[in-house]
């Protein structure tokens, strides 16, 4: 039995919606389980040399240990000035923020390039279908149904592109916000530790002066 063009279009749209809904549900679950920021944007030094030794350590604990190791390193000299310690911290924080911005810009450029390529490909396919159809002998009703189907495909394609672009931009916005939330948290931790460092340094220098002849 031959399926009419209208029924065919309905089935295409129905199954497309079902597939997109399932994919969206899986993406939402992945987002809930994802870390706030990726390891390359965390305040830590490159510790790849220890990866083999730490292969059994959970990833989140490994990242936490790396962050603590970095803080230990910038606070290791008890005689350095507080502003020197602060400069080291903010220099790395700025470096990570710049890296995130560059990576997100590259992602956007790649996304726009693919979006344009998909749009051009779709336009060529629609033009080819129209040209092929016009060579056929058809009735007025058949032509009306065909071009209605083409228009539905066009609307569905561009609606799908807009939805994907909105999702992409929302993810970029989330990535930036997540980094700033992370940066704020780590800055608060750093400031608390810097305050403790300054107090210990004063005690250390005071004790050192007292023991001098």
Mean pLDDT of 135-158: 94
Q: How far apart are the first and last CA of the chain?
A: 107
The beta-carbon contacts of 195-198 under 8 Å, at least 24 apart in sequence, are 197/75, 197/78, 197/82, 197/85, 198/82
Helix-helix angle 59-74:140-211, to 10 degrees = 40
Task: Please check the confidence at residue 18 and state whether its pLDDT lies above 70.
Answer: no
pLDDT tens digits, 77-131? 888 889 999 999 999 999 999 999 999 999 999 999 999 999 999 999 999 999 9
Q: Tokens 């990866």 sit at which residue?
A: 51
Q: Confirm if 171 and 100 have CB atoms less than 8 A apart.
A: no
Task: Please check the confidence at residue 187 and state whether its pLDDT lies above 90.
Answer: yes
Task: Please check the confidence at residue 62 and state whether its pLDDT lies above 90.
Answer: no
> What band does 68 get if pLDDT is binned at 50, 70 and 90?
confident
pLDDT of res. 75: 86
Domain limits, the chain: 35-211
Of 115, 107, 102, residue with least CA distance to 165: 115
pLDDT of res. 20: 45
Q: Tokens 């007025």 sit at which residue?
A: 140
Task: Please check the confidence at residue 172 and state whether its pLDDT lies above 90.
Answer: yes
The tokens describing 2, both together, are 């031959």
Task: Please check the confidence at residue 212 and state whether its pLDDT lies above 70.
Answer: no
pLDDT of res. 107: 96
């Amino acid at each position: 039995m031959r399926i009419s063009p209208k029924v065919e279009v309905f089935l295409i749209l129905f199954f497309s919606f079902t597939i997109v809904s399932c994919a969206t549900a899986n993406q939402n679950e992945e987002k809930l389980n994802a870390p706030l920021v990726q390891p390359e944007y965390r305040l830590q030094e490159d510790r790849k040399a220890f990866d083999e030794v730490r292969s059994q350590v959970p990833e989140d604990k490994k990242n936490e240990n790396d962050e603590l190791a970095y803080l230990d390193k910038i606070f290791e000299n008890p005689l350095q000035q507080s502003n020197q310690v602060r400069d080291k911290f903010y220099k790395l924080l700025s470096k990570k923020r710049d890296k995130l911005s560059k990576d997100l810009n590259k992602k956007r450029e790649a996304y726009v390039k693919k979006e344009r390529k998909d749009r051009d490909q779709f336009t060529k396919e629609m033009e080819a279908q129209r040209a092929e159809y016009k060579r056929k002998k058809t009735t007025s009703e058949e032509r009306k149904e065909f071009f209605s189907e083409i228009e539905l495909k066009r609307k569905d394609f561009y609606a799908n592109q807009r939805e994907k672009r909105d999702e992409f931009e929302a993810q970029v916005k989330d990535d930036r916000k997540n980094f700033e939330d992370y940066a704020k948290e780590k800055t608060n931790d750093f400031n608390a530790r810097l305050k403790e460092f300054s107090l210990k340094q004063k005690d250390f220098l005071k004790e050192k002066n007292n023991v001098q002849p």
